Structure 1
Amino acid sequence: MRQEWSPEGVVGGWTVVDGAWELVANKSGPTRLGFCLMLKFFEIEARFPRFVEEFPQPAG
């Protein structure tokens, strides 16, 4: 995962859009945020993170 993210890169890469909201719809609270982070990480890296530190600071 790249270390430096521009504001545009964060918005473009980490925003949940379109059909992904169907997956998120039945989640609430912290579960929703965690699920969204895992989903977007998987879209970007094609794997799930092993440690919370793998998420870039701007994404959380």
Structure 2
Amino acid sequence: MTVTAAAPAKAQSPLLLVGAALASVYVVWGSAYLAIRIMVEEMPPLVGGVIVVLAVAVVVRSEFQ
């Protein structure tokens, strides 16, 4: 019986992974602030609150189904 050693997978550079993580946080956080800014400027408070509650309900429902 012959045993062949598989070549180890090349790991991603930690610097590249940190950069990708920071970029994703930057995009998600920035889009959240943009959405809040638009909501505050354009919508009445009650409508904005209803939209936020509905969005959270959709996310929670999809997560626990």
Q: Shorter-chain TM-score: which interval?
A: 0.3 to 0.5
Q: Larger helix proportion, structure 1 or 2? A: 2
Q: Bigger relative contact order, structure 1 or 2, given CA contacts below 8 A and separation 6+?
A: 1
Larger radius of gyration: 2
Q: What TM-score, normalized by structure 2, do the two folds share?
A: 0.33
